[in-house]
Amino acid sequence: MNYYLHILMETIRFAKTNAILIKAQNIRSLIKSRIKNITNIYSNYKNYKYLNEGNKNIIMDNITDYQFTPVSFGKKFMLFLTKIDNKKYTIMINKKKKDLISIEMELDDALYDNTLLDGELYKLNDKWIYQVNDLFIYNNINYRFKSLDLRIKILQSIFETKYDYATFKIILVEHYTLNYFIDCIENKNTIFKFKTSGILFKNINNNKNYLYIYKENRTKTKKFIFNVEKTNLPDVYKLYCKNNNKIVEHSIAAIPNLETSQKLKQLFSETEEILRFECSYSKSFNKYVPLKITDESLTEI
């Protein structure tokens, strides 16, 4: 039996069609290495930074260097077209979960010499839409650093063929120049066929792209309230929360920078008491960072 048939797979339903969740490490490693060897990215790659009030001048000061595309509320996926032992595979890559899902759909033959597309998956009128917004690999060549104009031209040529199936459709998102920006923002509910969560600003010369999420769609940072106790060690503070209505020790606080260190040192130099803080969760440290004194109720964990 062929080596690649000795793989662990799980049959699933994906976007209302049959699909295979690839679980075997040999195939997962093969696919990931092909992508990394060509364009040096991983399955969770983001080709943008977030735009906010602090860095919005990057766009405003260089406005002619950008085009934009609308962004849906869909899940972020890459689509990888490749061959394994001369068999064509159409693989959806979940950028958050890092799942590799082989779907039973076939695109143009020429695309299976390693093509990697970026986009998002959402549902519209009972049909699943995979909306492509960028091209990373085309015919085994890295296009990630080529001009936006060239990438769009190739994408447009790819989508001269319509990929519209019974329950699933693959399309190319529209790229707009900035002179359409105000109209698109003010009339986004009528111009776009899908609900938009924000705007992706794409640099025409390089990969310095920025995602702007509309204020009404931004997730509010969850607050965590802990009692904070100083220890005898520098920058080591114990955190306490509630559990079954009892105050219990939870963890050690994260002190991510000099500013936080100095602030806590100053506050605890004035008292030997335990202080109550509003904290935020830091993914980088997998810990909670004390932000400010509060009198709110302790978090129940």
Per-residue DSSP letters for 83-143? EETTEEEEEEEETTT--EEEES----GGGGSSEEEEEEEEEETTEEEEEEEEEEEETTEE-
Q: What is the pLDDT of residues 148-198, one digit of tens each?
A: 999 999 999 999 999 999 889 999 999 999 888 888 888 888 899 899 999
In contact, 17 and 104? CB cutoff 8 Å: yes
Q: Residue 253, Cβ neighbours under 10 Å: how many?
A: 24
User: Is the model's pLDDT at 284 over the cut of 90?
Assistant: no
**pLDDT of res. 184:** 86
Residues 6+ apart with CB under 8 A from 49: 55, 208, 209, 210, 211
* The model's pTM: 0.72
Q: What is the pLDDT of residues 4-47, one digit of tens each?
A: 444 467 889 998 888 999 998 999 999 999 999 999 998 889 88
In contact, 163 and 15? CB cutoff 8 Å: no
In 3D space, the residue among 27, 28, 24, 25 whose CA is nearest the CA of residue 9 turns out to be 24
